[in-house]
Amino acid sequence: MIEEATQYHVNEKGYYGRFGGAFVPEMLYPNVEELRKNYLQIIAEPSFQTEFQALLRDYVGRPTPLFFASRLSEKYGTQIYLKREDLCHTGAHKVNNTIGQILVAKRLNKQRIVAETGAGQHGVATATVCALMGMECIVYMGELDIERQASNVARMKMLGAEVRAATCGSKTLKDATNEAMRHWINNPVDTHYIIGSVVGPHPYPDMVARFQSVISEEIRWQLREKTGRENPDYVIACVGGGSNAAGAFYHFLDEPSVRLIALEAAGKGLTSGHSAATTALGKPGVLHGSRTILMQTDDGQITEPYSISAGLDYPGIGPLHAYLFDSGRGEFYSATDEEAVQAAFELAQLEGIIPALETAHALAHLSRLGARAHEVVVINLSGRGDKDLATYMKYIQ
């Protein structure tokens, strides 16, 4: 977590190239400004690092293994390693970020946490750390999502969180985010807003990327132990907002020999009108406080995204990813619902690991990668598939 100043890290004004910034209503400015002024210093404090590292170890279960997938490797004729974020407490990488942010909130003397959630995964990860720290937790969730994701709503409630319905607009993630921000505006002194991905106004994208960067920090030493070299030839991750990808890419951003490959959800196909492939379909615009690439109509209305995986169902990507795309440092592809489900079954039957549907999009790229026999491919296994069983069951005869 040392200060780094390279072209792929956020600059002092909060930008990655022409993306990023903090486009917030005046009422929200003091909250965001308090965070911006303090986050780097707080994260750098030895007492913060000690507490953060201890929780990652003893509560989350880190380091997560880097697993050599021998049967998958044989099938694709290359060396494939899986970074097992699916083994984190709560079943995905999201908790790395919520742990970091709640520790920041404590040091800013906040007593209450507010968060948005789409499918409920970030809501559960937030409710979890609030229970751990004995903090009040309010999660805004679209009314439609509350109906669709009953089990995650139950989890949040069991963990002691209050789930509030966002009843405006399309009653989904975008509207929940608006409601959460409104709540924060009205409670600026005692509340911290925990965003769930590398999105939102500066400093959120940078802060979340730093908390998730533990993923690539571990990959480096684990790969050195296993292969004698720190740098793989490829790192592959799925991108919704982009936090697991940012974490997996972070320590390789300035290593040009490492190809960084991001997979978006093509949904029913890029031209089907039911997709979430932001870089393929979107253009620059401002959403939730930052300038990035967004799926939108010609007159700038955000288009409703679609993916079989709730975690990739977001109309934008974080500004870091917009910049990686724009600059060519990152390579962006997409996989359809069908391709993702196929890849999930393949991993289950070749390695005995059932991945989250989000992760399955990254796995789907293996068949197109064309990696050579001696090359090393790391896939970030962002989460486990238990939550997606109802969907997978539709594909089982």
Task: Give catalytic residue positions.
Answer: 94, 116, 382
* Comparison of 79 and 243: residue with beta carbon closer to ligand PLP: 243
Q: How many CB atoms lie within 10 A of CB 150?
A: 10
- Residue 355 bridge partners (DSSP): 384
User: Is residue 305 a contact point for ligand PLP (CB under 6 A)?
Assistant: no
Compute the distance between CA of residue 11 and CA of residue 136 in angstroms, rounded to an integer: 34
Angle between helices 214-227 and 204-212 (to 10 degrees): 30
Residue nearest to ligand PLP (CB): 383
Q: What is the DSSP string of 222-244?
A: HHHHHHS-S--SEEEEE-SSSHH
Supply the minimum distance, in Å, between the C-beta of residue 88 and ligand PLP.
10
Supply the minimum distance, in Å, between the C-beta of residue 385 and ligand PLP.
9
Supply the minimum distance, in Å, between the C-beta of residue 248 and ligand PLP.
9
Supply the minimum distance, in Å, between the C-beta of residue 318 and ligand PLP.
8
* Comparison of 177 and 197: residue with beta carbon closer to ligand PLP: 197
Q: Name residue, tokens 């989890």.
A: 155
Out of 177, 191, 244, 334, which residue is the one contacting ligand PLP (CB under 6 A)? 244
Q: How many CB atoms lie within 10 A of CB 386?
A: 12
Q: Which stretch binds ligand PLP (CB under 6 A): 11-19, 159-167, 237-245, 271-279?
A: 237-245
Task: Please report how many Cα atoms fall inside a 13 Å half-sphere around the Cα of residue 34, on the Cβ side.
Answer: 18
Sheet of strand 283-287, all strands in order from the earlier edge strand to the far edge? 15-16, 19-20, 290-294, 283-287
Out of 121, 172, 275, 290, which residue is the one contacting ligand PLP (CB under 6 A)? 121
Indicate the residue type of 251: H
User: Is residue 92 a contact point for ligand PLP (CB under 6 A)?
Assistant: yes
Out of 358, 363, 379, 388, which residue is the one contacting ligand PLP (CB under 6 A)? 358
User: Is residue 117 a contact point for ligand PLP (CB under 6 A)?
Assistant: no
User: Is residue 360 a contact point for ligand PLP (CB under 6 A)?
Assistant: no
For 191: left if phi > 0, alpha if psi spans -120 to 50, otherwise beta; the answer is: beta
70-106 burial string, b = 16+ CB within 10 Å, else e? eebbeebebbbbbbbbbbbbbbbbbbbbbbbbbbbbb
User: Is residue 32 a contact point for ligand PLP (CB under 6 A)?
Assistant: no
Supply the minimum distance, in Å, between the C-beta of residue 216 and ligand PLP.
13
Question: Is 246 in a helix, a strand, or coil?
Answer: helix
Q: Name residue, tokens 């401002």.
A: 286
Q: Name residue, tokens 């093509």.
A: 266
Letters for 373-392 (x = contact with ligand PLP by CB under 6 A, - = none) are ---------xx---------
Supply the minimum distance, in Å, between the C-beta of residue 359 and ligand PLP.
6
Q: Enter the tokens of residue 393.
A: 């069951």
Supply the minimum distance, in Å, between the C-beta of residue 358 and ligand PLP.
3
Letters for 159-178 (x = contact with ligand PLP by CB under 6 A, - = none) are --------------------
* Comparison of 185 and 344: residue with beta carbon closer to ligand PLP: 344
* Comparison of 185 and 214: residue with beta carbon closer to ligand PLP: 214
Whether the CA torsion 40, 87, 258, 292 is positive or negative: it is negative
Q: Which of residues 179-198 bind ligand PLP (CB under 6 A)?
A: 197
* Cβ-based burial of 194 (10 A; exposed 0-12, middle 13-18, buried ≥19): buried
Letters for 328-357 (x = contact with ligand PLP by CB under 6 A, - = none) are ----------------------------x-
Question: Is 139 in a helix, a strand, or coil?
Answer: strand
* Comparison of 92 and 261: residue with beta carbon closer to ligand PLP: 92
User: Is residue 362 a contact point for ligand PLP (CB under 6 A)?
Assistant: no
Compute the distance between CA of residue 117 and CA of residue 177 in angstroms, rounded to an integer: 8
**Binding residues for ligand PLP (CB under 6 A):** 92, 94, 121, 197, 238-245, 311-312, 356, 358-359, 382-383
